[in-house]
Structure 1
Amino acid sequence: MTRLSEIQERERSALVDDLSALTPEQWRSPTLCGSWDVEDVVAHLGAASTLSMWGWVRSIVGARFDADVHNQRRLEEFRGATPAVTLERFAGTGPIGLPGKESPAGLGELIVHAEDIRRPMGLRREPDAEGLSAVARFFATKDFAVNSRSLVKGLRLVATDADFRSGSGPEIEGPLLSLVMAMAGRSAVLGDLHGDGVPELSRRMAGAG
């Protein structure tokens, strides 16, 4: 089994390659991540890659446990004077190590945010299959950075392109990457999914939003 930190390294390198071709205007493109543009998401990933557990605790406490305030402060701290500088800094980071470098949580953060950038821009990448499966299993069984387990509780997820099945109840089928993005709360992927559980998932996403 490949170490998840090594998969993170490859996925980050692939994202850096995609970002290197962007025009200045494209760096200001919207993403699936709320009001953040491409550079905001990259700075967020870079900041996450440089935070230790103790640094994260100090930051979230300093933000009075407001995750939005914490994330905005850290991305602004990481972002460079230009997108090129931000990209250079991001390219030089290591794996996201919260809660640990071999946890699927960090890889999930990278895969989801990379797709947050790529999907609106029409860029396509199939993430590492082994890593994506590990993230899917983690998201389906744990609420960590996102309330993924709670979002799909009582629903059965079935990947149409991988050996992944999880849960019981009304069924949702689709590509594994789309299931992972759905568990991360991205309603933009609902059109990729089908099954009698999709309306309920859509309702839950709307309520969470």
Structure 2
Amino acid sequence: MGKLTDGPLWALVHAERAALVEDLTGLSAEQWRYRTLCGRWDVEEVLAHLTAAASLNRWQWLRSMLAARFRPDVHNQRRLEEHRGRTPAETLERFRTVIHSRTAPSSDTPAYLGEVVVHAQDIRRPLGVTRTPNIDALTPVAEFYAGRDFAVASRTRAEGLELRANDGPFIAGTGPLVTGTTLALVMAMAGRISYLEDLQGPGVPTLRSRLDVSAANQV
């Protein structure tokens, strides 16, 4: 597919945020506390993180990182707490207010689309919600992740492998083949081990070993 410009990419970001709000409306108190695929954070905490991500411009992000002494975990936790409401319903409402935000620390719009796509699946899979993002949203994220390490070491994980989607146009790299849905490829490049079960090909063991190392190095 041709490269999308910022306008269409932001429209996809907004659509994916709106879809997540729809999926989270009506959750029980117990479901809000479910552990997600995103480390130690529960559903409400990941949602608050997404609200924070949609609320920080370049200078706000830089000030926050300076205050955190460039420790991303500290920065993320502080901003999460800032945007979490007194109740899950309030946290959801705060996220609803940033659905159409274009605020971001940089011009790397595919990365911010990826943040919504990945974190939404971090939430959905433990909840048993089976919504799959639009292929038009997934493909630019896959292309960005295969070409660059940004917030995640996606390019490093994919290096020396051929990644090929079986449900869309995404293909990248050379080497042992890894094939599957675009969503599974995106989530694997983002380090989500559970999505390896949705992938096939001789390159999967290499990808698994890289994700196992990433998980072992997490603090």
Q: 2:77 aligns with which of 51, 67, 72?
A: 72
Instruction: Give the whole-Å Cα distance in 2 for the aligned partners of 1:169 and 1:96.
Output: 38
Q: What residue number does 1:97 align with? A: 104
Q: What residue number does 1:110 align with? A: 116
**Residue-pair matches, total:** 208
Q: What residue number does 2:65 align with? A: 60
Q: What residue number does 2:87 align with? A: 82
Q: Which aligned pairs between 1:17-28 and structure 2 lie closer than 5 A?
A: 17-28=22-33
When the two structures are superposed, what TM-score results if normalisation uses the length of structure 1? 0.96
Q: What residue number does 1:152 align with? A: 158
- Amino acid of the residue matched to residue 116 of structure 1? D
Instruction: Give the whole-Å Cα distance in 2 for the aligned partners of 1:151 and 1:99.
Output: 23
SS in structure 2 at match of 1:97: coil
Q: What residue number does 2:35 align with? A: 30
Q: 2:134 aligns with which of 122, 128, 133?
A: 128
Q: What residue number does 1:137 align with? A: 143
Task: Quote the offset at 1:181 in angstroms.
Answer: 0.3
- Amino acid of the residue matched to residue 103 of structure 1? T
Does residue 174 of structure 1 match 2:174?
no
Gaps of 5+ in 1: none
SS in structure 1 at match of 2:178: strand
Instruction: Give the whole-Å Cα distance in 2 for the aligned partners of 1:157 and 1:120.
Output: 26
Q: What residue number does 2:44 align with? A: 39
SS in structure 2 at match of 1:157: strand
- Amino acid of the residue matched to residue 43 of structure 1? A
SS in structure 2 at match of 1:173: strand
Q: Are the equivalent residues in 1 in contact too, given 2:59–2:105 (CA < 8 A)?
A: no
Q: Are the equivalent residues in 2 in contact too, given 1:151–1:201 (CA < 8 A)?
A: yes
Task: Quote the offset at 1:89 in angstroms.
Answer: 0.5
SS in structure 1 at match of 2:175: coil
Task: Quote the offset at 1:31 in angstroms.
Answer: 0.4
Q: What residue number does 2:202 align with? A: 196
Instruction: Give the whole-Å Cα distance in 2 for the aligned partners of 1:85 and 1:171.
Output: 45
When the two structures are superposed, what TM-score results if normalisation uses the length of structure 2? 0.92
Gaps of 5+ in 2: none
- Amino acid of the residue matched to residue 130 of structure 1? D
Q: Are the equivalent residues in 2 in contact too, given 1:33–1:41 (CA < 8 A)?
A: yes
Instruction: Give the whole-Å Cα distance in 1 for the aligned partners of 2:67 and 2:191.
Output: 26
SS in structure 2 at match of 1:114: helix
Return closer, same or farther for 1:151/1:187 CA change in 2, 3 Å cut-off.
same
Which of structure 1's runs of 4+ aligned residues deviate more than 2 A? 95-98
Q: What residue number does 1:207 align with? A: 213
Percent identity of paired positions between Structure 1 and Structure 2? 53
Return closer, same or farther for 1:152/1:92 CA change in 2, 3 Å cut-off.
same
Instruction: Give the whole-Å Cα distance in 1 for the aligned partners of 2:200 and 2:66.
Output: 41
Q: Are the equivalent residues in 2 in contact too, given 1:107–1:131 (CA < 8 A)?
A: yes
Q: Are the equivalent residues in 2 in contact too, given 1:98–1:106 (CA < 8 A)?
A: no
SS in structure 2 at match of 1:25: helix
Instruction: Give the whole-Å Cα distance in 2 for the aligned partners of 1:23 and 1:54.
Output: 37
Task: Quote the offset at 1:96 in angstroms.
Answer: 5.3
Q: Are the equivalent residues in 1 in contact too, given 2:57–2:103 (CA < 8 A)?
A: no
